[in-house]
Amino acid sequence: MSLTGAHADDAAIVVEGAQKRYGQKRALDGLDLVVRRGTVHGVLGPNGAGKTTIVRILATLLRHDAGRVEVAGYDVRSRPAEVRRRIGLLGQHAAVDEELGGRQNLEMFGRLYHLGARRAGERADELLARFGLADTGSKAVGKYSGGMRRRLDLAASLITDPQVLFLDEPTTGLDPRGRAEVWGAVRSLVGGGTTVLLTTQYLEEADQLADRITVVDRGRAVAEGTPDDLKRTVGGDRIDVVLRDARHLDAAAALVGPDAETDAYRRRISAPVADRMAALARTVRALEAAGIEAEDIALRRPTLDEVFLHLTKETEPGDFADEEVVA
Amino acid sequence: MSANAVGWAVADSWTMTRRELAHWGRQPVQVVVGLVFPVMLLLMFGFLIGGGKGVQGDYVDFLVPGMLALTMAFGLEATMLAVTQDLNKGVIDRFRSMPMTSGAVLVGRAVADMLQSAAGLVILVGVGWAVGWRWHGGPLAFLGALGLLLLLRFAMLWVGIHLAMVAGRPEMVQAVQILVWPVGFLSSVFAAPASMPDWLGRVVQWNPLSATATAVRDLFGSPAAAASSWPAEHAGLLAVVWPVVLVAVFFPLAVRRFGRLNQ
Ligand SMILES: Nc1ncnc2c1ncn2[C@@H]1O[C@H](COP(=O)(O)OP(=O)(O)OP(=O)(O)O)[C@@H](O)[C@H]1O
Ligand SMILES: [Mg+2]
C-alpha cells in the first residue's frame, strides 16, 4: 500500500518510513505522511499512536532514528534552521512563559523572530486583538483560563505567518466555545495559504477542518484519504440498536449480524447492512423472537468514529472501549 | 559565525536576559530571599558560632572574605534550581522550535545569575562593613578580589547549568544540593586548614573555594589562614586557574547538552 501518492514539489511535509524508538518502545514504526501545500491535514490516532512524536520531529524538537523527514523542502535533521524559519508550533502542552503577561510573551517571541523591538510590539498588539486577548493587561499567563492560554499559544505560533503550522491536539481540554474559537482561527489561516498539520483524537474536529486525514496507529499510517474516502472504507449504511439491558448485548449482536460491533457503555450494537429496510425488519423480528428489548433501532450513514475504530481495531483488538477515543 | 549571526546572538541573549529580569519583577520576594540568605549565614557564623580555629587576628576579617567566596559557590544551587525549573516548562519547546540562537536561553540565565550574584556581593560587603570588617588593601586589590569572586561564580554557573541538565528534574537537584554543602564546608571558609587533621587540611587546601577565599583574603589584606603550603602560597594563581578550567570544561558541555535536549 502506497500512502505517499503526492508529488514532492507541491508537498509541504514529506515523511517516509520514519522510525523513532524510546528505549525499547517503538513510537514511530515506519510512518509515511505527505501533506500538500496550502491544505489542512489531520493526523488521527488513539493515545500513544505517535502523534506528538511526529509533530516534535517535524518541529525539530526531536531527532528521528531513521527515514526521510522534510518540511517546506528542507530536511529536519540537516537543515533545522531553515525549517524553524518556516514553521509555527502549537504543542500539546502550552509553550508560553506562564510567569509573564500575554503581551510580554508575544513581544519576546517577536524579538526572537528578529522583528525588531518596535515591530515586535505592534505584532503583539495585532495578535492580542485578533485572538480576543487585548484587555488582559499584565496578568500572568499562569492565571489565564485554559482557553485563553491556548489562544495565546496559537497567537505565539503565528507571529511570523508561518508556511507550515503544526497543531498538536489544539482543542483538547477546551470547552465548546474555546473549541469553536480555535477552529475559526484555523479556518481563517487556511485562506491565507498556510499548510496546517493537525493532530486530534476528535474525529469531528478532523471532519470539520481537514482536507485529508491520515489515521495513525502504533506509529504507522493505517489509512489515508479525505473524510469521505475514509467513511467509504467502512462500507455503506449501518444499523444501530440500543438495548434496554446491556447483559443481552452479545446475544443480540449475534442476531444483528456477523460484523456487529458492541459498545457496552452505550448498550449499543452497530453493524453494516446491505439491504436497508429488509435488514431493519429482520432485526426487529429476531430481537422480538429472542425476547430482547430494544430502546432504539435506527439506520444511518457511518461516522468517522467507526472508521477510526474499524481501522485501529485491526492492529490492536479490544483496546478502544475507552471513552476518550470513542467520544 | 558571520558578523550578522554574532549580532543576532547578542540580541537574542539580551532578549532572554530581559525575560529573566521580568521574572524578578514578578517574583520580588524570591529575589529578596536569595539576597538575604547569605547575609543570615554571615551573621550566624560571625556572631552565634564565633571564632574559627587556627585564625590569627580578627575572626570577622577572616570570615567575611570566606563567606563571600561561599556565597559565590552556593550560587550553584540557585542556578541548578532555576535551570531545572525552566527546562521543565513548555516555553523551552517554543524557544527550541524558533530560528533563534540556541545558546541564548543559557546566556540569559547566565547574565541574570551574574547580576543577582553581583548584587548579593555588594550587599554582603555592605553588611560585612557594618559589622566591623575592613579591607586593608588598595582600591585595585579590592576590585581584583571582587573579580575573583565573580569568576568563581561564573564557573559555578556553568557547572550548575550542566549538572541541572544532567539531573533533569528538580527533585534530582536536591541530591546535588546535599553534596554541595560538604564541598562548601571542607574549605578554608570558616577555619584554617592548619587547624585540621593533616590529611583533611591537605584536601581542603586544594578545594577551589579555598583558593578563592585565600586569594581574596590576600587581596583584602585580611588575616591569613596560617599555613605555608604550595596551594596556600599560590592561591591567587589557583583562584584563576580553577574557575577557568571549570568553565573550559562545563561551558561547552552545557551548550552541547542544551542543543541535544530530548534527543
Ligand atoms: N519521552 C518518552 N519516553 C518513553 N516513551 C515515550 C516518550 N514519549 C512518548 N513515549 C511513548 O511513545 C508512544 C507514542 O507517544 P506519543 O506521545 O507520540 O503519542 P500520542 O499519539 O501523541 O498520544 P496522546 O494522544 O496521548 O498525546 C507512546 O507509547 C508513549 O508512551
Ligand atoms: Mg500527544
pLDDT category at A8 given cuts 50, 70, 90 is: low
Instruction: Output the pLDDT for position A325.
Output: 36
Confidence of residue A1 (pLDDT cuts 50, 70, 90): very low
Checking ipTM against 0.95, whether it exceeds it is no
Q: Cell numbers at residue B53, please?
A: 580555629
For the segment A124-152, the average pLDDT, to the nearest whole number, is: 90
Ranking A113-122, A228-237, B8-17, B120-129 by mean pLDDT, the lowest is A228-237
Q: At residue B210, does pLDDT exceed 50? A: yes
pLDDT for A46: 85
Instruction: Give which of A278, A308, A318, A283 is closest to A297, Cα–Cα.
Output: A283
Q: Is A89 on the interface with B (CB under 8 A)?
A: yes
Number of Cα atoms under 13 Å in the Cβ half of residue B217: 32
Predicted pLDDT of residue A50: 95
Kindly state the percentage of chain A with pLDDT values over 70: 90
Residue A320: what pLDDT? 40
Q: How confident is the model at residue A152 (pLDDT cuts 50, 70, 90)?
A: very high
The average pLDDT across B184-201 equals: 79
d(CA B46, CA A145): 50
Selecting from A63, A84, A112 the residue whose C-beta is nearest the C-beta of B15 gives A112
Residues of B in contact with A98 (CB under 8 A): 89, 91
Residues of A in contact with B91 (CB under 8 A): 95-98
The average confidence (pLDDT) of chain B is: 85
- Determine the Cα–Cα distance for residues A12 and B241; give it in Å rounded to an integer: 52
User: What's the gap in Å between the CA of B162 and the closest CA on chain A?
Assistant: 19
Give yes or no for residue A323 having a pLDDT over 50: no
Cα A261 to ligand 1 centroid, rounded to whole Å: 28
Q: Report pLDDT for A37.
A: 93
CA B263 to ligand 1 center in whole angstroms: 14
Lowest mean pLDDT among A32-36, A155-159, B76-80: B76-80
pLDDT at A188: 80
**A29: helix, coil or strand?**
strand
For residue A5, the CA-to-ligand 1 centroid distance in Å is 27
- What number is the average pLDDT over the span A28-36? 96
Q: Give percent of chain B with pLDDT exceeding 90.
A: 35
B26 shares contact with chain A (CB less than 8 Å): yes
Average pLDDT, chain A: 86
In chain A, residues 260-299 whose CB comes closer than 8 Å to chain B: none
Cα of A87 from ligand 1 centre, angstroms: 22
Q: How confident is the model at residue A327 (pLDDT cuts 50, 70, 90)?
A: very low
pLDDT digits (tens, 9 = 90+) for A33-80: 999 999 999 999 888 999 999 999 999 999 999 999 999 999 999 999
The answer to whether the CB atoms of A95 and B8 lie below 8 A apart is no
Is 60 exceeded by the pLDDT of residue A170? yes
Classified as helix, coil or strand, A4 is coil
Q: Cell for A323?
A: 471513552
Strands (E), A45-101: 66-71, 74-75, 87-90
Q: Using CA atoms, how far apart are residues A87 and A84, in angstroms rounded to an integer?
A: 5
Q: What is the mean pLDDT of residues A1-5?
A: 43
Indicate the pLDDT class of residue B226, thresholds 50, 70 and 90: low
Chain A residue numbers touching B12 (CB-CB < 8 A): 111-112
Interface membership of A87 toward B (CB under 8 Å): yes
How many whole angstroms from A50 Cα to the centroid of ligand 2?
7
**pLDDT, tens digit (0-9, with 9 covering 90-100), for A199-242:** 988 877 888 899 999 999 999 999 999 988 887 776 677 889 99
pLDDT for B172 beyond 90: no
| Model confidence at B212: pLDDT above 80 | yes
| pLDDT at residue number A319 | 43
Residue-level pLDDT at B50? 62
* CA angle, residues B145, B146, B150, in degrees to nearest 5: 120
Among candidate residues B186, B201, B71, the one with its CA nearest the CA of residue B124:
B71
Is residue A317 pLDDT above 50, yes or no? no
- Taking the model in full, what pTM does it have? 0.81
Task: State yes or no: pLDDT of B208 exceeds 90.
Answer: no
Q: For B100, which of A91, A112, A140 is closest by C-beta distance?
A: A112
Please answer yes or no on whether A95 and B23 come within 8 Å at the CB atom. no
Q: Does residue A197 or residue A260 have the better pLDDT? A: A197
Q: Which residues pair with A294 in a beta bridge?
A: A243
pLDDT tens, residue by residue, B112-159: 999 999 999 999 999 988 888 888 888 898 999 999 999 999 999 999
- Nearest atom of ligand 1 to the alpha carbon of A53: 18
Ligand nearest to the CA of A49: 1
SS3 of residue A16 by DSSP: strand
Q: Closest CB to B98: pick one of A94, A98, A112.
A: A112
For the sheet with A11-22, list strands across it.
A25-36, A11-22, A66-71, A74-75
Please tell me the distance in Å from B149's CA to the nearest CA on chain A: 31
What pLDDT is stored for residue B57 in this prediction? 66
Q: Taking 70 as the threshold, does the pLDDT of residue A87 lie above it?
A: yes
What pLDDT is stored for residue B51 in this prediction? 59
Rounded average pLDDT over A170-187: 83
A62 contacts on B by Cβ (under 8 Å): 262-263
Q: Is the pLDDT of residue A3 over 50?
A: no
Q: Which residue ranges have their beta carbon within 6 Å of ligand 1? A: A 22, 25, 27, 45, 47-53, 92, 201
Biggest distance spanned by C-alpha atoms of chain B = 58
- Which atom of ligand 1 is the closest one to the Cα of A54? 18
The DSSP symbol for A96 reads S
Apex CA A144: angle with CA A139 and CA A145, to 5°?
A: 160
Give me the pLDDT at residue B209, please: 86
Angle (nearest 5°) at CA B91 between B89 and B96: 115
Cβ contacts (< 8 Å) between A94 and chain B: which residues? 90
